[in-house]
């Protein structure tokens, strides 16, 4: 089944199970009181597509309204300064993080209205005893290092259990070879999106869980000889994601969650466990806190607050749950060393409006422009060179994030971000700033993947833009103050939307003067960024009229009546010249009288025999279609014929006329001149 456009991770809880020499333990779960239905319903997720603050970041939403902004700010702080921080900076950041954790859990407890002591009750999670779930979710060694999926009622328990190696290590020990991978430690986790590497996660689609054995074999072999020791008595750990997906989307939702979140998170934990026993150390810390709370009679709410405050693994699990549940990017920091970013893929735009039976996603960009190109020469994972980026966040903020990373490619990425304009294609940017086109496409794909930007056709004042049929007008009252702050002296936002709602016109018709053009193009970028406007593009087909068909048919009949004979002998031709002239005069008289008698019948037959038609693929025309095209261009000037031959492949209804000039390097006025010369043979249709 095709994936729904509605963002719905269906995540209801995350569990941590470990097995040690003393048996299986249910160590931790989040949220503290999970429900059998997702906490974050799809209707609460729509704002991510249309609501941006004045700085460009998505509107905050978390377990509570008052604390979410602080959480988001803390996330940005942690991920932009994850590497290269001093001990003092890390300590300060840790203090801020702990205060965020306390505030977050306090608000959750107050919101649920459930707290207090539960010492005397059986501890149950999702209606099951912890001991039962621990035994159920702790598979044998032969079932580890592969996808784990178990369905109970409407819930799906999804995980990637990892077991210690037979030699007691978590990674195969081997000699160092050659040059290490970026980030040190020889992780080898090809699908881990580790911060500090701008190219990490640059491609949205990963291998996922389809080649688990091959991936893990490579993962083990890439370990350093100094790593892999067994720290502690733990022999297995299993991070379990509990989902409640819709029945018709169960397979697609669970597979996406496994590919993009579950497996990557588990392998990152395995890397840290192999290095210094991080998972076992954190599990012991959580168990000690539970034992202490049980001994001292600490309330359940206070216990969970202490766990999140003192265990970085527990806090990382909570952040993964909160952010993934809201279809946001989860940025976590493991073992004070590894920055990890996880996200579920989302549909960034749609080409058709949802039907009445499908969930509506107002604010989602509506366009048929394919940013990955529409011919075989452009790869699936590479943005089309004739597109550009529209940043969804403030450019200054993006540059600050890049500067905080300090990697080899940070300078090129920052240079590209500064040079990128929504009015210039990637090819034009490459020519102007000197960055190779391939590098620009890779960096652009990276920014799109991490939701910093969206790929669009370059905006132009001569193109036509209208109010998007999928615009979220409920957000208009929040966007008006932002618009007024950005463009205080220009037309009010409601008035501009009213103008765009009228008869479609080129955007230049709304620009008062040439001096206003840059400002109005910025306004247009603002409208597209927030899903209020979309480009109305023109598509064209070549129509063959009955007159063209009749002329070609008449020419073919004349050619058949006058077959080409071998060249006559000059002497014989001279002798029979006078006789031939006499015969031609007689035949001409006869033909004239016959044609006058039958002309009426022939005309009526032609009208019935020939009808207008469309050439579906003019650049792959058949022999008869080629004859029609030749007849259409016969009377045109040579320069028009040459330009027509270049643009004819776009006249099949599948390519927007607006992209011809950019793709072929032809001036827009020349494109209009060619299409005007063939105005009687071109049919137009407008669509987003």
- Write the pLDDT tens digit of every residue in 525-555: 999 999 999 999 999 999 999 888 888 888 8
| DSSP-assigned letter for residue 169 | -
Among the residue ranges 181-185, 482-486, 524-528, 631-635, the one predicted with the least confidence is 181-185
Give the separation between CA 45 and CA 347, rounded to whole angstroms.
13
Residue 265: what pLDDT? 95
Residue 351: its pLDDT value, please?
81
Tell me, what's the pLDDT at 688?
85
Residue-wise pLDDT for 100-123, tens only, equals 444 544 444 444 434 444 444 567
Give 654's Cβ-side CA count (13 Å radius): 11
In the chain, where the domains are located: 11-177+206-342, 388-527, 532-557+607-688
pLDDT at 369: 84
CA–CA distance, 287 with 291 (Å, rounded to integer):
6
Query: Sorting pLDDT into bands at 50, 70 and 90, what band is 5?
Result: low
pTM score of the predicted model: 0.68
The dihedral over CA atoms of 501, 504, 510, 511, expressed in degrees to the nearest 10, equals 140
SS3 of 605-643: the string is: HHHHHCCCEEECCHHHCCHHHHHHHHHHHCCCCHHHHHH
DSSP 285-316: HHHHHHHHHHHHT--HHHHHHHHHHH-HHHHH
Most confident of 354-363, 367-376, 525-534, 577-586: 525-534
Predicted confidence band of residue 664 (pLDDT cuts 50, 70, 90): confident
* Separation between Cα atoms, residue 378 and residue 358, nearest integer Å: 32
The strand ranges marked E within 433-545 are 453-456, 464-467, 533-544
Cis upstream peptide for 31 (omega within 30°)? yes
Q: Which of 227-236, 252-261, 587-596 is predicted most confidently?
A: 252-261
Count of beta carbons in the 10 Å neighbourhood of residue 381: 13
Tell me the pLDDT band of 378, cut-offs 50, 70 and 90: very low
From CA 289, how far away is CA 296, in angstroms rounded?
10
Each residue's pLDDT tens digit, 426-481: 999 999 988 999 999 999 999 998 889 999 999 999 999 999 999 999 999 999 99
> How many other CB atoms are there within 10 angstroms of residue 292's CB atom?
12
Q: In this predicted structure, what is the pLDDT of residue 230?
A: 54
Share of the chain above pLDDT 70, in %: 69
Rounded to an integer, the average pLDDT of 276-298 is 91
Q: What is the pLDDT of residue 38?
A: 65
For residues 430 and 436, the answer to whether their CB atoms sit within 8 Å is: yes
Average pLDDT, the chain: 76
């Amino acid at each position: 089944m095709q994936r729904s456009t509605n963002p719905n991770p269906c995540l209801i809880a995350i569990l941590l199970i470990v097995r040690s020499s003393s048996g299986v333990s249910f160590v931790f779960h989040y949220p503290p009181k999970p429900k059998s239905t997702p906490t974050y319903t799809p209707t609460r997720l729509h704002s991510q597509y249309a609501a941006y603050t004045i700085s460009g970041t998505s509107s905050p939403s978390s377990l509570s309204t008052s604390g979410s902004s602080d959480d988001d700010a803390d996330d940005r702080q942690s991920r932009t300064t994850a590497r290269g921080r001093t001990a003092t900076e890390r300590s300060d950041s840790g203090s801020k993080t702990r205060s965020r954790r306390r505030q977050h859990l306090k608000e959750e407890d107050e919101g649920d209205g459930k707290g207090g002591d539960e010492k005397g009750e059986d501890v149950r999670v999702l209606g099951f005893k912890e001991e039962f779930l621990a035994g159920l979710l702790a598979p044998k060694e032969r079932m580890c290092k592969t996808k784990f999926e178990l369905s109970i009622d409407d819930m799906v328990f999804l995980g990637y259990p990892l077991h210690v190696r037979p030699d007691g290590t978590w990674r195969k020990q081997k000699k160092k070879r050659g040059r290490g991978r970026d980030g040190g430690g020889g992780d080898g986790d090809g699908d881990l999106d580790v911060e500090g590497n701008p190219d990490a996660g640059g491609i949205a689609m990963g291998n996922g869980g389809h080649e688990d054995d091959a991936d893990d074999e490579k993962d083990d072999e890439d370990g350093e000889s100094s790593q892999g020791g067994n720290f502690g008595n733990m022999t297995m750990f299993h991070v379990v994601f509990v989902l409640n997906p819709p029945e018709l989307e169960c397979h697609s939702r669970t597979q996406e969650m496994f590919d993009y979140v579950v497996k990557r998170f588990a392998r990152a934990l395995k890397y840290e466990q192999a290095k210094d026993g991080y998972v076992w150390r954190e599990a012991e810390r959580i168990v000690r806190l539970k034992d202490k709370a049980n001994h001292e009679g600490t309330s359940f709410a206070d216990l969970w607050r202490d766990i999140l405050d003192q265990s970085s693994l527990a806090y990382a699990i909570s952040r993964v749950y909160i952010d993934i549940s809201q279809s946001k990017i989860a940025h976590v920091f493991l073992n004070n060393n590894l920055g990890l970013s996880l996200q579920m893929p989302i549909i960034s735009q749609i080409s058709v409006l949802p039907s009445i039976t499908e969930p509506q996603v107002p604010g989602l960009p509506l366009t048929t422009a394919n940013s990955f190109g529409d011919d075989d020469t452009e790869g699936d994972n590479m943005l089309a060179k004739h597109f550009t980026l529209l940043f969804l966040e403030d450019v200054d903020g993006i540059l600050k994030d890049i500067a905080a990373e300090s990697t080899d490619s940070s300078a090129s990425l920052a240079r590209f971000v500064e040079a990128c304009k929504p009015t210039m294609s990637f090819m034009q940017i490459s020519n102007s700033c000197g960055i190779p086109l391939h590098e620009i496409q890779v960096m652009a794909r990276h920014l799109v993947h991490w939701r910093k930007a969206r790929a669009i056709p370059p905006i132009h004042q001569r193109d036509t833009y209208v109010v998007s049929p999928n615009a979220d007008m409920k957000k208009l009252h929040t966007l008006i103050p932002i618009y007024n702050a950005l463009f205080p002296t220009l037309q009010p936002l409601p008035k501009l939307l009213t103008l765009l709602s009228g008869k479609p016109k080129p955007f230049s018709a709304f620009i008062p003067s040439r001096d206003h053009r840059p400002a109005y193009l910025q306004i247009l970028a603002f409208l597209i960024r927030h899903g209020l406007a979309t480009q109305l593009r023109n598509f064209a087909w070549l129509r063959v009229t009955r007159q063209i068909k009749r002329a070609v048919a008449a020419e073919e009949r004349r050619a058949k009546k006058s077959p080409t004979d071998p060249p006559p002998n000059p002497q014989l031709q001279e002798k029979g010249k006078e006789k031939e002239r006499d015969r031609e005069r007689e035949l001409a008289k006869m033909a004239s009288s016959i044609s006058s008698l039958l002309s009426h019948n022939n005309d009526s037959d032609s009208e019935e025999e020939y009808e207008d038609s469309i050439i579906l693929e003019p650049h792959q025309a058949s022999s008869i279609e080629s004859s029609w095209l030749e007849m259409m261009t016969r009377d045109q000037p040579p320069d028009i014929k040459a330009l027509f031959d270049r643009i004819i492949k776009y006249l099949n209804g599948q390519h927007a006329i607006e992209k011809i000039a950019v793709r072929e390097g032809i001036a827009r006025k020349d494109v209009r001149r060619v299409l005007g010369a063939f105005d009687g043979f071109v049919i137009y249709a407008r669509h987003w």
